[in-house]
Chains A and B, each alone.
Chain A
Amino acid sequence: MNFRIVKLEKFSGSEASIYSVILEEDEPEQKTLFEYFVAENITNHREEVRDIASRLITIGTKTGARDIFFKDHEGRHGDGVCALFDNPDKNLRLYCIRFGKGILVIGGGGHKPKSMKAFQESKKLTKENDYMRIVSTEIENRIREKEITYSPDGTELLGEFKFYDHD
């Protein structure tokens, strides 16, 4: 999977930088996974999408990405993928990757009714979760190889953000 990481200025602030992913196939439109998530859900779940955006602003500007705001182990154990907490009366799931309190990578997600026990029951959620597992693994590899580092205050990633296997 070829992709690059971009920083979403609308949500980032002094407490955390918030990033998303542009797949190579979406380069012509320059559309992140999160923008697809918004476009796919804004009509039927407008309030939930607005609430998610509002929480992302708070995370970036006021609180940082504290673990309590997320559900861990949303992929396979240890893959680093989590989901923004969804209320029992809400149905949207947004997949994320946290790197401490200061860095959050948001991807896509979708509708997950409460009757659904596991995301694997939905092809859409499985696909979105798979994307984020790959992104998580690739970033972890670059951090290990010091091709990506953290800024001194831990609120920024620095380094090479293109993950193209043909480069």
Chain B
Amino acid sequence: MTKPKQAQSHTSKVLDALVNEITPREQARTDNRMLLAIKIDDARKAKGWTQQVFAKEMGQQPSVISKWLSGTHNFTADTMWDIEEKLGVELISLKEREWKVTRVVEYKITVQSPGLFTTEYVSPYTSLSDVEENTIETKPYKYG
């Protein structure tokens, strides 16, 4: 039995030039929009909702939902949060956006013993970011 043949491959300068015009960044953006549309549509199906029901739940016209799912839509954050709430799917992860908070704390310890001497200890740390977590330890201080 002969193996069924594949269609002939076709390439051309016109198509090569067209594809070469698309930057990796543009392609990644298209990929993300279309993958996001699939994620939303899969969540809609998991809910057992038709597109009409989804439109009603979102307070939108069915034509708006078609556009959302077309892979061409540039969603606002508010719309994505609304969709997350209705479909119970995570579209924006804020966990990935933890920003580093640097607080400058000056440690100043004054030990006084009236009548004998006065000394002052100033921490070498000027910021919590200077030290790694759990590395601050109390060192015995020898009175001078």
Residues of A within 8 A of B (CB): 4-11, 17, 19-20, 22, 30-32, 34-35, 38-39, 42, 49-51, 53-55, 57-59, 62-63, 66, 68-69, 71, 85, 87-88, 149, 156-161
Q: Which residues of A contact B5 (CB under 8 A)?
A: 158-160
Q: Are B70 and A85 in contact (CB under 8 A)?
A: yes
Q: Are A49 and B18 in contact (CB under 8 A)?
A: yes
Task: A55 to B29: give the CA distance in the assembly, Å.
Answer: 10
Q: Does B76 contact A (CB under 8 A)?
A: no
Q: Which residues of A contact B6 (CB under 8 A)?
A: 7, 156-158
Task: A54 to B116: give the CA distance in the assembly, Å.
Answer: 81
Contact for B22 among A57, A88, A161, CB less than 8 A: A57
- Counting from the closest, the 4 A-B pairs by CB-CB distance are A158-B4, A6-B10, A85-B70, A68-B69
Q: Are B10 and A57 in contact (CB under 8 A)?
A: no
Q: Does B15 contact A (CB under 8 A)?
A: yes
Residues A7 and B14 in contact in the complex (CB < 8 Å), given A66-B41, A159-B4 = no
Task: A71 to B27: give the CA distance in the assembly, Å.
Answer: 22
Task: A32 to B10: give the CA distance in the assembly, Å.
Answer: 9
Query: Which of B32-40, B78-86, B121-129 binds A?
Result: B32-40
Task: A53 to B15: give the CA distance in the assembly, Å.
Answer: 9
Q: Are A63 and B71 in contact (CB under 8 A)?
A: yes
Contact for A66 among B15, B31, B38, CB less than 8 A: B38
Give chain B nearest CB distance to A126 CB in angstroms. 24
Contact for A10 among B7, B19, B66, CB less than 8 A: B19
Interface residue SS majority, chain B: helix
Q: Does B11 contact A (CB under 8 A)?
A: yes
Q: Are B34 and A55 in contact (CB under 8 A)?
A: yes
Give chain B nearest CB distance to A87 CB in angstroms. 5
Give chain A nearest CB distance to B28 CB in angstroms. 10
11 A-B pairs in the complex with CB atoms less than 8 angstroms apart: A10-B15, A31-B14, A34-B15, A38-B18, A55-B30, A55-B72, A59-B34, A62-B31, A69-B71, A85-B66, A87-B70
Q: What 1/0 flags go to B53-76 for Cβ under 8 Å of A?
A: 000000000000011011110000
Q: Are A10 and B16 in contact (CB under 8 A)?
A: yes
Q: Does B110 contact A (CB under 8 A)?
A: no
Give chain B nearest CB distance to A117 CB in angstroms. 15
Q: Are A157 and B7 in contact (CB under 8 A)?
A: yes
Q: Which residues of A contact B15 (CB under 8 A)?
A: 8, 10, 34-35, 38
Q: Max chain A CB contacts within 10 Å: which of B9, B10, B67?
A: B10
Residues A19 and B7 in contact in the complex (CB < 8 Å), given A50-B18, A57-B19 = yes
Across the interface, name the chain B residue whose C-beta is closest to A46.
B21
Contact for A69 among B4, B10, B21, B70, CB less than 8 A: B70
